[in-house]
Structure 1
Amino acid sequence: MAKVGWIGLGNMGNPMSQNLVKAGHDVVVWNRTKSKADEVLAAGATWADSPKEVAEKADFIFTMVADGPTLHAVAFGDNGYIAGLSAGKIAIDMSTVSVAESVKVNEAVEAAGCKLIRGPVTGSTVLAQSATLGILASGDKATYDKVLPLFESLGANQFYVGGADEARVLKLAINTMIATTMQMEAEAVVLCEKAGLDVGQVTEVIAGSAVGSGICKYKASTITEGTYPAAFSVKLMMKDLDLALDVAKQYGVPMLSTSLTRQQLAAAAATGREEKDFAVLTEVLEDASGYTR
């Protein structure tokens, strides 16, 4: 049984931390809003009053937060988790952040005599609940091997991709494909709707066709129902595409589809849909096409 700390109990972090409790680990948690810890505390975790206290009580410290500034807020400062580290501990960040933001955290963790594993995930909240996420990891290989049993309690597919921040780049690349897939599906669905086809049947056919991917299957009911509760918000997807486009500039890679999809997400945000699920791209295109269900 490992002593595990978990910082960040949002849509993904909450079920993931619960899975570590279910696996028999001694889990201590912190979240900015304590009420979001109710379920994991009921499952058997204990509460810490600060990220620093999490690190003091745990040997493995996970962070799963919304963005780079939030990661830095929980990592640095008098109450940040780095202040609670002692030599030999391992930090694991599962957030989607930029390489530059990651490098700063890594430097501080290593200065404390510890190691950082970058471990962003692929998959939805449903996969987080069922512990079947894909986990992309990079960092020191010997340290990764120590963390792997914990990853196996969180995800069905494990990928070690390099010794530094390679996992950050790969996660951003995957998210560009997820976002552009939703834009392509929006175009296909609205075309069919305007031609008189039923949206439910269209999404079902797309999901089961040669172009049907996991994301098409997962978002079929969301698009059909047309309500778009946020499993992954427009706001967060815009953040990820901005990070991906920054990396693309660094490496000189033109990303035309990603750029266009980013503009459509901006249209969603500008029309009051920033907190909706990013599959709301279908609704944005319906409006632009003069179509009302």
Structure 2
Amino acid sequence: MKIGYVGLGAMGGALARWLVADHDLLVWDLNPAAMARFAEYGATPATSLPDMARACDIVFLCLPRSSNVEAAIFGDGGLVGGLAPGKIVIDQTSGVGAETRDMARRLAAQGVDMLDAPVAGGVPSAVGGTITIMLSGDDGAQARAMPALRAMTSKIYRASGVAGDAQSVKTLNNMMNMVFRVATLELAALAVRLGVPMGELTPALEAGVAGNFTCRTVLPAIIAERSVGDFALTLMLKDNNQALELGIAAGVPMPLSALGRAAVQMNINIIGDHAGLDHVMPFMEQATGVRFMDTFDRVTDSDVTALTITALAAANRAIAYEILSVAAKMGMDLTDFGRILNNGSAWNRECENILDELSSGRASATTLGDAIDAMRGLEALNLKHGVTTLILGEVRAIYETAARELGMGASVSFLATLYERVGEVTLRAA
């Protein structure tokens, strides 16, 4: 199969690299060095985008924004000059679903199928062949494209048969990741300040009910003093803005998402447009007033680690309900959506538990009172130690509101009813 790839940046380059071995690959990038690098791998630099489109059965794109994709397809000298009926265009950009649907409609008028196949898991996962791909668009085109997609990873999840839906899923995935990243880092900073070393806290968080992608990847990276990736925060902010736009359009409140987005915006405002994911940790140290690898005397006889696990699990559960509510309001299948979340950078153990609870009718043994007591305890201790927290107070407010209606003894599983009522949505999984 002859395949084209447009956009050989950090992510696009990592994905395209997997196509060289088993496919005849043509590549295109505005950076001549990237084209030369792929020529060394065995790919062929295309002479133009129309020539690439004429020569290839499938053309992938991975560009910064949907506007760049639109220009690469329909602009002067774009792919459209060489596309013909039966060809497939696959967009791996973290784009805007509505804009992708419009491009798919325009291409369909020419007999060309467009799929969107954004990814989750970061560049290291793409390099390692373990990236998660979310896929939407015509089911027949999905089947024809599968050999090329499987060259990149085995973790491919169908979002829907409508182009653009996978990009909406990716946007919500990234939003969830950022909110629990901020929540995890602020609670870790608080635990450290209260006397729990990072080396002791990290395995306890990852192994327990509070486990999430940040506990699994970012906290160990802090301890090892290694990079977590150079993904630009301006692009993360773009994704977060799109997620909030989805919530606004759906009429679903997203208070935790708004706080996660605010943290990204503050990073950019303070550090500049060059800020990347590696800047989030020093920013959080500056914001909280705690260096993660510093050690402090224990200030309480309370089990701070246990309180932190319970509080972070509560935050993970709340952000999962918030994101699931938007997806449900948009008409997405929550079982498929949850499977995607829990196989990528939005993984968290409480989201896994929620999907099981929604499908089985089982309820968590943890009560609203358990979660509230842990959060109250941490906030009370923090009054003497001055660690800034963005997420903790808002999560406690959500749980306190639910407890007023349901009682302190109600399972945290019944927090779902609050989200259903406020978002005017039904949360169910098959």
Q: TM-score, normalised by structure 1?
A: 0.91
- The correspondence of residues 76-95 of structure 1 with structure 2, limited to 5 A, is 76-95=74-93
Partner of 1:122: 120
Which residue of the partner structure matches residue 208 of structure 1? 207
Equivalent runs, 1:271-290 vs 2, <5 Å: 271-272=270-271, 274-278=273-277, 280-290=279-289
Q: What per-residue deviation string (whole Å, max 9, x for no partner) do you get for residues 174-205 of structure 1? A: 11111111111111221123234433443344
Structure 1 residues 106 and 199, CA gap change in structure 2 (3 angstroms): same
Residue 53 (structure 1) aligned to one of 48, 51, 54: 51
Contact kept? 1:14, 1:37, Cα under 8 Å: no
Which residue matches 2:33?
Answer: 35
Identify the residue that residue 20 of structure 1 maps to in structure 2.
Answer: 19
**Structure 1 stretch 84-93 or stretch 108-117: which is displaced more?**
108-117
CA distance in 2, matches of 1:9, 1:146: 23
Deviates more, 1:256-265 or 1:45-54: 45-54
**1:131-172 deviation digits (Å, cap 9, x = unpaired):** 221111111111111011111111221212222122122111
- Measured after TM superposition, the shift of residue 227 of structure 1 is 7.1
Indicate yes or no: 2:109 matched with 1:111. yes
Q: Does 1:161 align with 2:159?
A: yes
Any unmatched runs of 5+ in structure 1?
A: none
How far, CA to CA, are the matches of 2:278 and 2:208 in structure 1?
A: 19
TM-score (norm 2): 0.64
Counterpart for residue 143 of structure 2 = 145
Query: Is 1:71 aligned to residue 64 of structure 2?
Result: no
List per-residue Cα deviations over 1:77-135 (Å, max 9, x = no partner). 12111222112110011111112221232123213221001111121211111222111
User: Contact conserved, 1:134 with 1:155, CA < 8 A, in 2?
Assistant: yes
- Offset of residue 57 of structure 1: 1.7
Question: What is the rounded CA distance, in whole Å, between the counterparts of 1:211 and 1:41 in structure 2?
Answer: 45
- 3-state SS of 1:20 partner: coil
Preserved CA contact (<8 Å) 2:4 2:53: yes
**How far 1:72 sits from its partner (Å)?**
1.8
Task: Provide the C-alpha distance between the structure 2 equivalents of 1:252 and 1:202, rounded to a whole number of angstroms.
Answer: 38
Could you tell me how far apart the structure 2 residues matched to 1:276 and 1:136 are? 27
Q: How many aligned residue pairs are there?
A: 291
Q: Which amino acid aligns with 1:26?
A: D
CA deviation after TM superposition for structure 1 residue 10, in Å: 1.1
Q: Which residue of structure 2 aligns with residue 224 of structure 1? A: 223
Q: Are the counterparts in 2 of residues 60 and 89 from structure 1 also a CA contact under 8 Å?
A: yes
C-alpha deviation, 1:69, in angstroms: 1.9
Higher helix share: 2
**1:191 corresponds to:** 190
Give 2:316's aligned residue: none
Larger Rg: 2
Residue type of the alignment partner of 1:127:
S
Q: Which runs of 4+ in 1 moved over 4 A?
A: 225-229
Question: Amino acid of the residue matched to residue 176 of structure 1?
Answer: M
Aligned to 1:270, what secondary structure does the other structure show? helix
User: Separation in 2 of the partners of 1:74 and 1:143?
Assistant: 21
Q: What is the match of residue 375 of structure 2?
A: none
Deviations 1:218-266 (A, max 9, x none): 2234433667564322111101000111111111111111101111111
Instruction: Report how far residue 30 of structure 1 moved.
Output: 0.4
Contact 2:228 2:277 in 1 (8 A): no
Which residue is equivalent to 1:44? 42
Cα RMSD (Å): 2.0
How far is 1:273 from its partner?
Answer: 5.1
Tell me, yes or no, if the aligned pair for 1:56 and 1:84 is still in contact at 8 Å: yes
Between Structure 1 and Structure 2, the one with more strand by share is: 1
- 39-48 or 203-212: bigger deviation: 203-212
Asked if 2 retains the 8 angstrom alpha-carbon contact of 1:189 and 1:282, the reply is: no
Counterparts of 1:210 and 1:277, CA distance in 2? 29
Q: Is the contact made by 1:15 and 1:129 (CA closer than 8 Å) also made in structure 2?
A: yes
CA contact (8 A) 2:218 2:228 kept: no
Structure 1 residue 207 displacement after superposition: 2.9
Report if the CA contact (8 A) 2:134-2:166 is conserved: yes
- How far apart are 1:279 and its partner, in Å? 5.6
